[in-house]
Structure 1
Amino acid sequence: MGLETKCVRYGKNEEYIGYMAKMDRAKANLPAVIVIQEIWGVDAHIQDITERFAEAGYLAFAPDLYAENGNRIEDLKEERIVEVRDFLDSLPHTVWNNPEEREQAIRELELGKQNRVTKTFEKMFGGIQSSVYVENLLAATSFLREECEASKGQGIASIGFCMGGALSALLACRDPQLKGAAIFYGVAPSDEELKNINSPLYGFYGDLDKRISDNIPAFADKMDSHGKIFKYEMYKDTHHAFFNDTRASYNVSAARDAYQKVLQFFNQVLVKE
């Protein structure tokens, strides 16, 4: 297939690490796509998505937001996240956001697993560290724009999923040079933040994901009132995380349509600008 993948250190002191992919026969500098992880981290699914965009002709890069100095934080190591994910998958989905029922289910685990699941769950879901994560993402865009030999001087766009979708929008608020941001079922930025957006945004949502999707028409109106570009797709009978083909919520028709449209979007903002 000719795909070149590697882990890359970046940042002023190389304190960050990310997963990079490109076609090995692509010798010219490439426009770049930053792939921003779900709550589950830079797992096999996010690496797969990164490789898909590399195969589409971009330098694709997924910053590992759960790493410090090149290594995963102890409570956020891959095996710990998998343990939490498997635990949650064993419960009815309604229990996920019900603290009392969830805590009761945790108490039924053996003691060692109780402690591990509790610590990792709190790290993952105890409030997104958006300021810390955005600093990481800004370091990534700076690296790709100014230092990376495969993308130096080229445009950069972002795409994120769930937590990463929200961060993709925040990156558009904080990086004035970003060419575009795709948001997959992520919460919208605040009214104050959106005033700083310079690039077009394209959102993809499932209509059954009410916590997020119900707020999107109002966000679209606010973007329009500030003269910002925001287009979105709302997929009928579709849940949160519909693009993740490792989850029960995967919706092949919505995912197929969204992938085609996001490729067109990146082509527009990165290639035909």
Structure 2
Amino acid sequence: MLEQEIDKPTATPDYSRRDFVRASVGSGFAAAVMPVTAQTLVSTGSGGLVAGPVTIPVGSFQMPAYRAQPDKPAGKNGFPVVLVISEIFGVHEHIADLTRRLARQGYLAIAPELFIRQGDAKAAVDIPTLVRDVISKVPDAQVMADLDATAAWAAANGGDATRLAATGMCWGGRITWLYAAHNPKIEAAAAWYGRLVGEASALQPKHPIDLVGSLHAPVLGLYAEKDGGIPLDSVDKMKAALAQGSAAARKSEIVVFPGTQHGFLADYRPSFDRQAAEDAWKRMLAWFEARGVA
């Protein structure tokens, strides 16, 4: 699902477009979701962490990303690595905050700007414009190559290449499934309400349900019962497909959270559900740990 079908946040007097719409990776919020719901905004400080923007070489292209990791020795093999794959809004403050939350659990967490060649996801003033002008032009093959480069950068900068996981939300949830089928080195993945089925196109030749036979790592799917764009029948189809897939697919699991909407982890939006978000976050950490990514 793309974010067109999610209700936009209600107004709040505490946060303005000027305050949040900034160019720097990891800061501000996309114009298309302004104004944010300040009463639910969670902020994880950077004290005790090395956190901030970095640049990742992908061939001759320099891709911006936001990285967070503990400010302490990494140990013999480095920190376990989690690739954080954003929603359609790019690497804004919420995504940066998630990397810091993971860093506080001992991870090197890194979120690359995967749309930057096509445009600035934070600049589009509304969701339809963002989807039309930026997101719809992003090839899956480009994203897979960018994530490979991100994993390689992390391994060369304090990360342990043998302990690699990925997690993503919405658009990034779909990509998380795809990456678990793309990279044979990945050990675990957690996909938050990512689209599972769809029609093939030149830029999106396959969808998660088409790749269950190719999964290299078990995926924890975290889905919402009342998701207007990801109906439960598609979740049921994916569950059935996983049972007939690769060994990793058969070890995958999908959890549907009752009463929740798409975006229940997004603490800056009305869809945020604190109880479900906290439960799902704990499940994700336990999923990674049980598969040696901790």
What band does the TM-score fall into relative to the shorter chain?
0.7 to 0.9
**1:226-245 matched pairs, under 5 angstroms:** 226=245, 227=247, 228=249, 229-245=251-267
Structure 1 residues 23-58: Cα deviation after superposition (integer angstroms, max 9, x where no partner):
102432111011000011100000000110001110
Contact 1:191 1:222 in 2 (8 A): yes
- C-alpha root-mean-square deviation of aligned residues, in Å? 2.0
Query: Are 1:216 and 2:235 matched, yes or no?
Result: yes
The size of the alignment, in residue pairs, is 231
TM-score normalised according to structure 1 size: 0.78
Give the 5 Å matches for 1:1-273. 1-10=47-56, 11-13=58-60, 15-28=62-75, 29-68=78-117, 75-76=119-120, 78=122, 80-81=123-124, 83-84=125-126, 118=129, 120-126=130-136, 128-145=138-155, 147-148=156-157, 150-188=158-196, 189-214=207-232, 215-226=234-245, 227=247, 228=249, 229-271=251-293
Structure 2 portions without partners, runs of 5+: 1-46, 197-206
**Cα offsets for 1:229-259 (capped at 9, x unmatched):** 2112111111000000001111111101001
Identity %: 26
Q: After TM superposition, what 4+ stretches of structure 1 lie above 6 angstroms from structure 2?
A: none
Which position in structure 1 is the counterpart of 2:35? none
Q: Which one has more relative contact order, counting CA pairs under 8 Å at least 6 apart?
A: 2
| Aligned-partner residue type, residue 163 of structure 1 | W
Give the Cα–Cα distance (whole angstroms) in 1 for the partners of residues 80 and 265 of structure 2: 23
Higher helix share: 1
Confirm or deny: 8 A CA contact 1:205 1:213 kept in the other structure: no
Deviation per CA, 1:176-215: give whole Å up to 9, x if none: 1101110000012344422111211001111101432421
Do the aligned residues in 1 keep the contact of 2:180 with 2:217 (CA within 8 Å)?
A: yes
Confirm or deny: 8 A CA contact 1:206 1:213 kept in the other structure: no
Structure 1 gaps, min length 5: 86-95, 97-117
- Whole-angstrom CA distance in 2 between matches of 1:186 and 1:77: 18
Aligned residues of 1:7 and 1:18 also touching (Cα < 8 A): yes
The question of whether the paired residues in 1 share the 8 Å contact of 2:187 and 2:293 is answered with no
CA distance in 2, matches of 1:206, 1:219: 14
| CA displacement 1:95-152 (0-9 Å, x = unmatched) | x7xxxxxxxxxxxxxxxxxxxxx4x44124536532222221122123323x22x114
Find the aligned partners of 2:226 and 2:95 in 1 and give their Cα distance: 23
1:13 is displaced (CA, Å) by: 3.2
203-212 or 239-248: which moved more?
203-212
Q: What is the CA-CA distance between 1:77 and the residue it aligns to?
A: 5.3
Q: What's the TM-score, normalizing by structure 2?
A: 0.73
Which secondary structure does the structure 2 equivalent of 1:47 belong to? helix
Helix, strand or coil for the counterpart of 1:155? Answer: strand
SS of 1:204's equivalent in the other structure is strand
